[in-house]
Structure 1
Amino acid sequence: MGGCSAPNCSNSTTIGKQLFRFPKDPVRMRKWLINCRRDFVPTPCSRLCQDHFEESQFEEIARSPAGGRKLKPNAIPTLFNVPDPPSPITPHIVLPIKHEPVEKDLNVGDHGYARRQPKEDLEDEAGLQRAEEERPCSLCQHYKTQLEQQQQHIARLQREAKDMKKRLQKLNKIERGLQMFLYEDQIRALTLAKRSRRAVWSQDTVLTARKIRCAVGVKGYEFLRELGYPLPSYRTLCNRLEPKMMVTTSMQEELAELGLGILTECNGSEGNAANDEGLIGVMT
């Protein structure tokens, strides 16, 4: 928007000054021009800034639609910085002289945010303005829709976070229950594919698996592994145990005569399962 039309004044809206249009009423326009000390014909873009009006020329409470201060309906600018002002200037256009209504007869001002019009026209314009204000702005409606979508998305994420928290608590309880009879590597193996070669077994797991195999036998041990119980394979057990010399039962007496200690794979009932295989481990 342009700047102020008053002489020796360069105020504009860019520095926070509020500008007002010249009134449409010929009599009041003539007063503005005479006090302004300029010989020109105002255009629709001509403005005077707020610095040329005394405080008494502004409404105390009312505001313009843009939120700025509002001039009184009969406001006249009187503050101008013009050294040695010339005599009042008559504009090029001969303005008709008409009786100026008193202040109480004025309906509204006409400084860009209101126009002097007949009362009936003002009522029609007020009705149109109210209808315009009641009609929702397309941009506001777009932002409102986006806000509602964001709120729905946030609510959905909050519900998902709540469900995940419950699932995590449930999994923690399950893990604590598994830790009562499984080692960490066995719990980790449950997350791998069945019979995965990536499983890394600890020495405690290998020793426990050997005892289970001696207790339930070969078929029982393999049946547990088929069900998904996290146990190492028989090959892993053989590779992880200490080196032993495998002999048959017929060689036990000869080894005893040589004074070699015989270490069976299992003790008590465990030995029966090992003897079913026909193998006995003897320490070297």
Structure 2
Amino acid sequence: MRYVIAAESHGSFRKAAFALNVKQSTLSRTIAQIEGRLGIALFERSSGGVHLTTAGLQIVRTFRHLVESIDHIAANAREIGLGRVGQLTIGHYTSLAAGNLRASLIEFAGRYSDVEVRTVESSRSNLLAELAGGFIDIAIVTGDPVPGMDNTMALWTERIMVALPESLPLAQSNIVHWTDLKEETFLISERDPGPEILNVLHSKLAFDGGLPKIARHNASRENIRSLVGAGFGISLMVEAGIGAKYPGVVYRELRDGNGLSRISFSGYWKSDNPNPALTNFIALLKERHPSPRGYG
């Protein structure tokens, strides 16, 4: 088809062959074979060159359309192979209002604007199940990577923050210590607040064998913060969540005798996932958050 198009464009088999860097005999023989298979003459040949027949004119229009489509498919396939187009589904259990995940998504979108990024927000347990089922490409959750797994990497740490009603006297302090919270009621979502957050809460407030006061609600994290603003208690979160503002709610750092309290994040993916966009996203995460433990 390219030979026919080139011959029509140049009006000569010799010039077309030169432009395509092939022998004239090869181009002429190939066009003759196409004419034989179609059962029609595409060109009128003369000493002055070649000209399309009426039937050839219609055929060349079809050939041009087919070649453009093939070129587009080939170019798109190359881009998919390089991870520059396609789709990437990222599961997370953290806010996108601020923080490292938001920044990573923005940078990835800037580098790979033709990749469709989809996000799935769910509990840690649900995300790992979605990952195992192949419904998401990567899960970003709290906690350190599971030892011995190749398809995981340590990412970043974030400060643990406390959301307080602005009417609470503690809200007037810029920094809050865990010991200041032992008489407060912690509002927890039953939709999996993350085992690390609960472990920290129990370890920091286990005074003399006592337990922190916890009120569980079957509510989203957003509604938990609305309850905080209404004065029903306080709540814990990582710093990515402080980008969202709620009426009557203030955020404060939490400290103990060792300084700031922090919680780690890790990424998990399936080692047999062939998605090139995932490979590029993992490379970006490694670039932004290098870890001596590496990743698989």
Greater RCO between the two (CA within 8 Å, min separation 6)? 2
Structure possessing the higher radius of gyration over alpha carbons: 1
Q: TM-score, normalised by structure 2?
A: 0.22
Name whichever structure is richer in strand by fraction.
2
Give the structure-1-normalised TM-score: 0.22
